Chain A
């Protein structure tokens, strides 16, 4: 989903940077207050961040004959919200643009809006929608992560489409062309990512349910029900 350095006119670089900065600003404030007041939750932040690091480094082959990488932002979005996720995403994207020439400093704003902000925002919307429903929480986790992953690439397509409208058909035609490249490739990856992160969520519930309850990711009732479903850990622990 990276837009390569130089491939975005500077006007659009500025626009996406301006959109990204308030989220980063809020993220820094939230992170500071968390580090000061809430040290127990820091390991969970580490786990969520670690998954963004791991998954966004894996470029996987897909149906369209090209490679793409998952984003891993869904887990962090559910536990800590969009702003803190945007900080972790920004760190990963900065690393990749400085050392790997994947994306660049001028397009970093646009890449942050798609991977670190837009995807998480969509995931968060799904999470809020399904949080209090009777749906199995693992299905909720699956949907949140898969949607956050997929929407990241939809936004990248949109960013490229508004910058490069097609001569015939304008923005919509060019959006379709970029969507076919990015989002279709991403669909199978999003499904696998959703499954893997749902599994990780199961292990977090097994080891540290109290953090999830404290952060009110899900209610105590939902978590204890999920624990009974996957009773593996109560056996190995006992």
Chain B
């Protein structure tokens, strides 16, 4: 029984471990949990001695007006992925079932 679900078990444990690390890190000290992209940008300005604001886009780009809209677009991105995923796995399962009955 355990042998069959070994991989599922390991994955759940890895995710639980990941959550535990998060809880431990977030309980101690003040971490903002900002994106590592932004921290990378700050490091660039630190190395060059120029403020982050001095880096202007070379090619103008659209920026989501608020964090909420950004979250929506990210959710759309992963919803699209999940939709495709569910569709294909369902298709395969159906294909397999029907090929067994006929």
Q: A residues bordering B, Cβ < 8 Å?
A: 1-7, 10, 13, 43, 46-47, 49-54, 56-68, 92, 95-102, 104-106, 138, 156, 160, 164, 166-167, 174, 177-178, 181-182, 185, 188-189, 191-192, 195-196, 198-199, 202-203, 207-208, 229-232, 237
> Which of the residues B11, B15, B81, B91 comes within 8 Å of A51, measured between beta carbons?
B81
| A57-B74, A106-B58 known; A63-B21 Cβ under 8 A | yes
Residues of chain A within 8 A of B78, CB atoms compared: 53-54, 57-58
> Which of the residues A13, A54, A61, A66 comes within 8 Å of B39, measured between beta carbons?
A66
Q: Is the interface of B mostly helix, strand, loop or mixed?
A: helix
B43 to chain A, nearest CB (A): 6
Pairs across A and B, CB under 8 Å, 24 listed: A5-B58, A43-B88, A43-B92, A49-B81, A49-B84, A56-B77, A57-B77, A59-B35, A63-B25, A66-B32, A99-B62, A105-B59, A106-B58, A138-B7, A181-B39, A185-B36, A192-B15, A195-B11, A195-B15, A196-B11, A199-B7, A207-B89, A207-B96, A237-B100
Within the assembled complex, what's the spacing in Å between the Cα atoms of A100 and B70?
A: 6
Q: Tell me whether A54 and B82 are in contact (CB under 8 A).
A: yes
Residues of chain B within 8 A of A51, CB atoms compared: 81, 85
Within the assembled complex, what's the spacing in Å between the Cα atoms of A57 and B57?
A: 23
| A50-B85, A57-B78, A99-B62 known; A207-B47 Cβ under 8 A | no
Residues of chain B within 8 A of A230, CB atoms compared: 4, 6-7
Residues of chain A within 8 A of B70, CB atoms compared: 100-101
Beta-carbon nearest neighbor of A52 in chain B: B81
Residues of chain B within 8 A of A174, CB atoms compared: 47
Within the assembled complex, what's the spacing in Å between the Cα atoms of A102 and B37?
A: 8
How many residues from B make CB contacts under 8 Å with A?
Answer: 61
Q: Tell me whether B40 and A181 are in contact (CB under 8 A).
A: yes
Within the assembled complex, what's the spacing in Å between the Cα atoms of A189 and B84?
A: 23
Q: Tell me whether B73 and A61 are in contact (CB under 8 A).
A: no
| A1-B37, A188-B21, A230-B4 known; A47-B88 Cβ under 8 A | yes
| A105-B59, A164-B44, A164-B48 known; A50-B91 Cβ under 8 A | no
Residues of chain B within 8 A of A58, CB atoms compared: 78
B44 to chain A, nearest CB (A): 6
Beta-carbon nearest neighbor of A8 in chain B: B58
Q: Tell me whether B58 and A182 are in contact (CB under 8 A).
A: no
Q: Tell me whether A101 and B62 are in contact (CB under 8 A).
A: yes
Within the assembled complex, what's the spacing in Å between the Cα atoms of A93 and B70?
A: 15
Within the assembled complex, what's the spacing in Å between the Cα atoms of A95 and B95?
A: 33
- Residues of chain B from 31 to 54 with CB closer than 8 A to chain A in the complex: 31-41, 43-44, 47-48
Within the assembled complex, what's the spacing in Å between the Cα atoms of A53 and B81?
A: 5
